[in-house]
Structure formats: C-alpha cells, structure tokens
Amino acid sequence: MGKIIDGKALSQAVKDEVKEQVPLLEEKYGRKPCLVVIIVGENPASQVYVRNKVKAAAYTGMESRLIELPADISEEALLGQIAALNEDPLVDGILVQLPLPKHIDEEKVIDAISREKDVDGFHPGNVAGLWLGKDCIVPCTPAGVMRMLDSIGCELKGKNAVVVGRSNIVGKPMAKLLLDRHATVTIAHSRTADLGAVCRTADVLVLAVGKAGLVTGDMVKPGAVLIDVGMNRNAEGKLCGDADFASCEPVAGWITPVPGGVGPMTIAMLMQNTIHCFLSREAR
Ligand code: NDP
C-alpha cells in the first residue's frame, strides 16, 4: 500500500516558514516582500489559481496586489503594465497567470518580466541559470516536487527517475532538478514508444501530462515513489491526476493524491520564490 505524501500539510509548513520570515525581513529591511499577480480575462480555472495565490500571500503576511485586466487588453498595454512594475522599487515578484488570450504573445510577456522579479522562474535568464547550475529562480511546481521528495527522505543518487511530460514549465525543469541530485533521468513524452516499459524502470516516477488515468498500476515499479502533477477533470467532473490512483496506490511505495498533492505545493513555493526575489534585490 502506497503511503500518501500529504501536499496540503507540507504546503502549510512551507507557508508557515515564510510567515515566520516576513516580520524578520520587515524589521531588517524596513519593508515587506511584495508579490503582484496579474490576471487577464475571466478564465474560471485561472481565477481560482490566482485567488489561491493571493490568499496564500495574505496568509504569510507579505504584501500582495492583484491586477485584473480585461480579456481584450492589448499586448502593448499589458507590456506597459509589466514595465511599470519592473521599475517599481516596492515590487519583488511579478506573476502573469497563463494562459493568456490568443492575441497576446505569451513568450513576449514572459520575456518582459525582469529576471529578478520572475517569481515563476520562466524567464530565459532563469531557465539558463537552472541548466547552467547558476543562481536562479526555480519554477514553483518542480521545486515543490523536490520538497515533497525531501520530506520523505527520498535519496535520489543513483536512482532511476522518469519524468513523463517535457513542457518548459514542469517536465524539463523537473528533469534537471532530479539530474542535479544525481538521479539517472529519462524524459518520456507523447512519442515515447512503450510508456509502460519506461515507467516500470522508475524508482521515482513524475507524471506531468494532463491526461486522466494515463498511468495504471501495471506501469508502476513496486515500491516506486509516484508524484502526480497532472490536474484533470474526470467524466464526473472531479479533479484527478494523470495516475489511475486506485490501481497505482497499492503498487507504489509513496504516492501523491490529486487534489491535495502537488497543487498546494506549487503555491507554497511561489511564496518562497517571492522571498528569494526580495532577498536578491535587497542584496544588490
Ligand atoms: P503540457 O500540455 O505543456 O505538456 C504535456 C506533456 O505531456 C507534453 O510534453 C506531451 O508530450 C506529454 N504527453 C501528452 N500525451 C502524452 C501521452 N499519451 N504519453 C506521454 N506523454 C504525453 O502540460 P504542462 O506541463 O503545462 O502540465 C502538465 C499537467 O500538469 C497538466 O495536467 C497541468 O494542469 C498540470 N499542472 C499542474 C500544476 C500543479 O500545480 N499541480 C502546475 C502546472 C501544471 P509532447 O511534448 O510530445 O507533446
């Protein structure tokens, strides 16, 4: 029977660490860290994510601002807002919730956020920093997964890790973080010939696909650590991951639930990244 890695409890612990730090930082530097979250349009899922991010920031006691912009805002106007926030000395972190409306070039927007305020870790400068092993902001979701692995004392050195999914925001940075801990890493994707065979080699299996029930128990090595990043709605509209929990849980040694797994960790690591940005700016 797989033991559950409780993302909710662990994220609470991370947020509490940040909450303890905020008054100390205010005392030392004369101001609190400040996170700005921008949402464009009314995508219901994005609205929930954004609300949870602002709520978490309020919990920790840091400053936060929510900027809600209409779906038809021009790319130029959005870039103008970002430029102003880049210049604002009281702002430490800027997050633009993705996806953006089709008429706005996401890449341009990500590039426009100054590297030092890029709390999501998506800016090319931070991506390069991650792959070159230099100081950088690590994307929140993979950072949260590493914290989960550490919480169970998972030794990665020499282990086989398989990451299913190769997106810039989850799969690729996830693989690099596992590589940094000396795991032997395989990245699987939609063209992988025999996904089951690849997954069965994994001591640590990270799923970041977006397909409900893609991985079933017969694809999991007995005793493996299974981290499910996927967030999907099943036929009944219930939130679920990429793993078929019912068949994977008895096989895995450890498993993350959906909901209550990686999702809350992503938000907690955003708080930590805001502190990182604050400290880097104050250290200049
Ligand atoms: P993307 O759609 O950007 O990437 C999905 C990846 O899965 C691609 O690399 C794709 O391969 C691969 N893939 C698709 N179908 C298969 C298949 N049948 N077999 C193997 N691989 C496949 O998604 P994201 O990385 O942005 O997100 C992945 C999931 O994680 C989503 O459910 C998303 O909602 C969730 N998510 C959860 C977060 C959290 O906080 N819990 C945060 C971010 C994302 P290819 O490259 O070949 O197309």
Q: How far apart are CA 229 and CA 205, in angstroms?
A: 11
Identity of the amino acid at 224: A
* List 81, 97, 159, 244, catalytic entry: 97
User: Is residue 110 within 8 Å of 240, Cβ to Cβ?
Assistant: no
Rounded distance from Cα 25 to ligand 1 centre (Å): 37
Average pLDDT, the chain: 97
Task: Output the CA 85–ligand 1 centroid distance in Å.
Answer: 30
Name 227's bridge partners.
Answer: 206
2 DSSP 8-state letter: P
CATH 3.40.50.720 residue window(s) in the chain: 140-263
Residue 84: φ, ψ to 5°: -65, -40
Mutate which of 164, 168, 189 for ligand 1? The one with the most ligand atoms within 8 Å of its CB, which is 189
CATH 1.10.600.10 matches 29-115? no
CATH architecture for segment(s) 140-263: 3-Layer(aba) Sandwich (3.40)
Determine whether the shortest distance from the Cβ of 166 to ligand 1 is under 6 A: yes
120 carries an active-site annotation? yes
Our answer on whether the CB atom of 264 is closer than 6 Å to any ligand 1 atom is no
pLDDT of residue 1: 74
CA 11 to ligand 1 centroid distance, Å = 22
- Residues 32-60 pLDDT 10s: 999 999 999 999 999 999 999 999 999 99
For the chain, residues with pLDDT lower than 70 are: none
Q: State the span(s) of the chain assigned CATH 3.40.50.10860.
A: 29-115
pTM over 0.95: yes
What is the dihedral angle through the alpha carbons of 117, 120, 124, 126, rounded to the nearest 10 degrees? 70
What is the pLDDT, as a whole number, of residue 149? 98
